[in-house]
Amino acid sequence: MKDSTINKRKVYLRIMKYVKPYWRHLIGVLITTVFFSIFSGLSIYLTIPLLETLFQSEVQAQSERLPTAELTQKIQKETESFGFLSKIKKEFSDVLFSFTSQPSKKESLFRICLIIVMAFLLKGLFGYIQSYLMAFVEQGFIRDLRNETFEHLNKLSLKYFTNERIGNLISRITNDITMINTGISVSFVSLAKEPLLLIVFLVLALAISWQLTIISLVVMPFSLVIISWLGVKLYKQSYLLQDKMADLTSFLQEKFYGTKIVKAFNMEKKENENFFQLTNHFFRIILKIIRIREIAQPTTEFLSVIAGVLIIWYGGIQVLESHTLKASEFLGFLFIIFQIMPPIKELSKVTNRIQESTAAASRVFEVIDEPISIKNTLNPIPFTDFRKEIIFKNISFYYEKNHVNILSDVSLEVNKGEVIAVVGPSGAGKTTLVDLIPRFYDVTEGSITIDGNDIRNYDLKSLRKNIGIVTQDSILFNDTVRNNISYGIENAKIEDVIESAKAANAHDFIIKLPKGYDTFIGERGLRLSGGQRQRISIARALLKNPPIMIFDEATSALDSESEILVQEAIEHLMQNRTTFVIAHRLSTVRNATKIIVIDKGEIVQIGKHSQLISDTDGLYHRLYTLQFMVDEETS
Highest-scoring range by mean pLDDT, 244-253, 431-440, 587-596: 431-440
pLDDT-derived band of residue 238, with 50, 70 and 90 as boundaries?
Answer: low
Question: What number is the average pLDDT over the span 385-403?
Answer: 84
Do the Cβ atoms of 87 and 93 come closer than 8 Å?
no
Cα 145 from Cα 322, distance rounded (Å): 61
Cα 282 from Cα 69, distance rounded (Å): 70
17-368 belongs to which CATH class?
mainly alpha
Average pLDDT, the chain: 76
Question: What number is the average pLDDT over the span 67-82?
Answer: 46
pLDDT-derived band of residue 65, with 50, 70 and 90 as boundaries?
Answer: very low
Burial class, 224, CB count within 10 angstroms (exposed 0-12 / middle 13-18 / buried 19+): middle
CB-based contacts of 155: which residues, under 8 Å, 6+ apart? 372, 374, 375
Please give the pLDDT value at position 359.
Answer: 79
pLDDT-derived band of residue 458, with 50, 70 and 90 as boundaries?
Answer: very high
Do the Cβ atoms of 220 and 344 come closer than 8 Å?
yes
More confident residue, 499 or 588: 499
What distances in angstroms separate CA 360 from CA 208, 294, 355, 523, 597, one per listed residue?
45, 19, 9, 29, 48
Residues for the chain: how many in total? 635
Cα 293 from Cα 350, distance rounded (Å): 10
Phi-psi region of 529 (alpha: psi -120 to 50; beta: other; left: phi over 0): beta
Cα 632 from Cα 635, distance rounded (Å): 5
pLDDT-derived band of residue 207, with 50, 70 and 90 as boundaries?
Answer: confident
Which residues are bridge partners to 552 per DSSP?
Answer: 471, 582
Instruction: Evaluate if residue 457 carries a pLDDT over 90.
Output: yes
Please give the pLDDT value at position 175.
Answer: 80
Residue type at position 199: I
pLDDT-derived band of residue 76, with 50, 70 and 90 as boundaries?
Answer: very low
**Under DSSP, is residue 448 helix (H, G, I), strand (E, B) or coil?**
strand
Question: What number is the average pLDDT over the span 336-365?
Answer: 75
Instruction: Evaluate if residue 4 carries a pLDDT over 60.
Output: no
Question: Which of these ranges, 71-80, 155-164, 351-360, 481-490, has the smallest mean pLDDT?
Answer: 71-80
Question: What number is the average pLDDT over the span 62-89?
Answer: 47
Share of the chain above pLDDT 70, in %: 69
Question: What number is the average pLDDT over the span 11-27?
Answer: 85
Question: What number is the average pLDDT over the span 510-539?
Answer: 84
pLDDT in tens, 217-235: 665 566 556 655 665 565 5
Question: Which of these ranges, 37-51, 290-304, 378-392, has the smallest mean pLDDT?
Answer: 290-304
Cα 159 from Cα 441, distance rounded (Å): 7
Question: What number is the average pLDDT over the span 91-100?
Answer: 57
**How many CB atoms are located within 10 Å of the residue 381 CB?**
16
Instruction: Evaluate if residue 546 carries a pLDDT over 70.
Output: yes
Cα 239 from Cα 176, distance rounded (Å): 10
Burial class, 467, CB count within 10 angstroms (exposed 0-12 / middle 13-18 / buried 19+): buried
pLDDT in tens, 253-277: 667 666 655 665 566 777 778 778 8
Instruction: Evaluate if residue 456 carries a pLDDT over 90.
Output: yes
Question: What number is the average pLDDT over the span 384-392?
Answer: 90
List the domain boundaries for the chain. 17-368
More confident residue, 607 or 570: 607
